Amino acid sequence: MDAGISTTGLRVAGVPIGNDEWVQQFVQAKAAAVQVDAGKLDIISDGLIHYQMLRFCHNTRLAFLGRITPTPLISDIFAEVDATILEALCRKGTTNAHGEWTAVFRRFVDMKLQLPHFRGGSGVTPNAVSALSAFYAASVSLVQWLGLCSHAEQDFIDLASTWAPGHDLANPDQWSAPILFALKQAHQVLLTDFGCHEWSIDGPAPASAVPQIEGSSPNPAANAPQSASRNVVPYLTLLPPTRLYSTQTVDSNLDGNAKAPSVPAQRVITAHLMRFWPSHQYVLGDISLTRSEQTLGLQRSQRFKACPTDPNDTIFGLHFPTPATDSQVQADPSLKEKAWHLTWMPLAFLASLLPQRQPTRFTGEIWVIFFCQALGAPIPLLRAHAVARTQCVCQKFVLDQYGDHVLTCKKHTGAIAGHDRRNWLATAD
């Protein structure tokens, strides 16, 4: 295979083409190299750079293969790569102390590391998820493109019959080419396993939504706005395969009110799949995860209405328009309050690739403190203090393994002093 000579498959522009076994062997070899290389990054001392290298450089190495290979062939292989990358992150983030975690907590950690930032996660999207959405989006685009290139006025070359000879692309029941067959399979999986809905010209998309089956009821964070509909995910509407290949423009063959939706973008499909990903289901709810679930809630995207406590606050007025009063709105509805909001995603900074300066770097144990605290896990070096029952300088309490007391002890007067003291305790020999 490495020599490019095989009777069962060949590689064309990096794409494995052959029987299923050969394609799997090809992808397996690439995945094995990625898994081996993940361990080579352990020598990076800066935890944030290690995380970013894994997330942006390493976790994406198989994206091309995922996009062009039928998903059922490779999902198990990609799941192994995902597990390797999670293990590398946990190793660095705990100085290899993660082996003490319970299986319940490890499942939570794996989920939290993979969730997107706006849901309180670290954004390391699983390859197995992005491969499914990428293959579906790319294959749908191909069929649509072949349709667009087969207009009557463009019949100097019939791309569809050249690319898929003997196929009627407008009739998916007759699709037999492997990639088209796999597209039908992926479409069906999205409908049956991931709460997607097929658009129909006869009826509007359902107004309701499907319940998200992730975990149970996570503990809401104290100050995070919550709603009863948070665990309900809107349907994702897909075009039926029969409508993908159309030699007419969509608008010209439909009534005005029944305009077909566009095919969702890959990132939209990925975000939807992450709501239903099997390994993330039924993770939450265990009593031992109470602290971690509260942390997850606090790190979700939070949206605050921007309004001054004092209506006459001049500094606020410099940056935000003064909302009209009720009586003003009644007199002139055009003045209806246009509220300003502030959105904060606590973990979004992890995606920033700006160069770090010394005060903002996560060297050595500082990354371990951040990593463990973000998960609601004990901080390894503070745990030693807790076991030894080291007393705080206030002489009233012993240090705890999460650093909670140090962060709030009045002896350190202030959040920054408490934070710095906690870091000193966790890094001092």
Q: State the Cα–Cα distance between residues 262 and 240, nearest whole angstrom.
A: 11
> If binding is defined by CB under 5 A, does position 394 make contact with Zn ion?
yes
Interface of this chain with Zn ion, residues 312 to 331, rule: CB under 5 A: none
Q: Which amino acid is at 263?
A: V
Whether residue 425 contacts residue 399, with contact meaning beta carbons closer than 8 Å, is answered with yes
101 alpha carbon, distance to own chain's centre: 23
Whether residue 137 contacts residue 268, with contact meaning beta carbons closer than 8 Å, is answered with no
> Least distance to Zn ion from the beta carbon of 95, Å?
25
Token pair belonging to 365: 């144990």
Binding residue for Zn ion, selected from 88, 379, 382, 392, defined by CB under 5 A: 392
> If binding is defined by CB under 5 A, does position 306 make contact with Zn ion?
no
C-alpha dihedral (142, 144, 148, 150), degrees to nearest 10: 70
For 122-180, give the DSSP string: -----HHHHHHHHHHHHHHHHHHHHHHTT-GGGTTS-HHHHHSTT--TT-GGG--SHHH
> If binding is defined by CB under 5 A, does position 398 make contact with Zn ion?
no
Q: For Zn ion, which is the closer residue by CB, 324 or 384?
A: 384
Whether residue 78 contacts residue 131, with contact meaning beta carbons closer than 8 Å, is answered with yes
Binding piece for Zn ion, criterion CB under 5 A, among 85-93, 212-220, 336-344, 404-412 = 404-412
* Widest distance between CA atoms in the chain: 87
Q: For Zn ion, which is the closer residue by CB, 197 or 411?
A: 411
> Least distance to Zn ion from the beta carbon of 71, Å?
54
- One character per residue 338-377, x = contact with Zn ion (rule: CB under 5 A): ----------------------------------------
Name the one residue in this structure whose structure tokens are 């003003």: 328
> Least distance to Zn ion from the beta carbon of 394, Å?
3
> If binding is defined by CB under 5 A, does position 409 make contact with Zn ion?
yes
Binding piece for Zn ion, criterion CB under 5 A, among 29-37, 49-57, 308-316, 385-393 = 385-393
Q: Which residues contact 237 (CB under 8 A, 6 or more apart)?
A: 196, 197, 198, 199, 205, 261, 264
Q: Which amino acid is at 274?
A: M
> Least distance to Zn ion from the beta carbon of 393, Å?
6
Size of the site for Zn ion (CB under 5 A): 4
Q: For Zn ion, which is the closer residue by CB, 272 or 405?
A: 405
Q: For Zn ion, which is the closer residue by CB, 258 or 394?
A: 394
Binding piece for Zn ion, criterion CB under 5 A, among 186-194, 220-228, 248-256, 411-419 = 411-419
Whether residue 281 contacts residue 215, with contact meaning beta carbons closer than 8 Å, is answered with yes
Strands 9-12 vs 15-18: parallel, antiparallel or unpaired: antiparallel
240 alpha carbon, distance to own chain's centre: 26
Q: For Zn ion, which is the closer residue by CB, 50 or 412?
A: 412
Binding piece for Zn ion, criterion CB under 5 A, among 239-247, 262-270, 324-332, 387-395 = 387-395
Q: For Zn ion, which is the closer residue by CB, 109 or 406?
A: 406
Q: Which residues contact 329 (CB under 8 A, 6 or more apart)?
A: 335, 336, 337
> Least distance to Zn ion from the beta carbon of 369, Å?
18
Q: For Zn ion, which is the closer residue by CB, 124 or 392?
A: 392
Q: For Zn ion, which is the closer residue by CB, 102 or 391?
A: 391
- One character per residue 216-255, x = contact with Zn ion (rule: CB under 5 A): ----------------------------------------
Q: For Zn ion, which is the closer residue by CB, 350 or 406?
A: 406
For 377-422, give the DSSP string: PPPHHHHHHHHHTPBPTTSS-BPPTT-HHHHH-GGG-SHHHHHHHH
Q: For Zn ion, which is the closer residue by CB, 268 or 387?
A: 387
> If binding is defined by CB under 5 A, does position 382 make contact with Zn ion?
no
> Which residues are near Zn ion by CB under 5 A?
392, 394, 409, 411
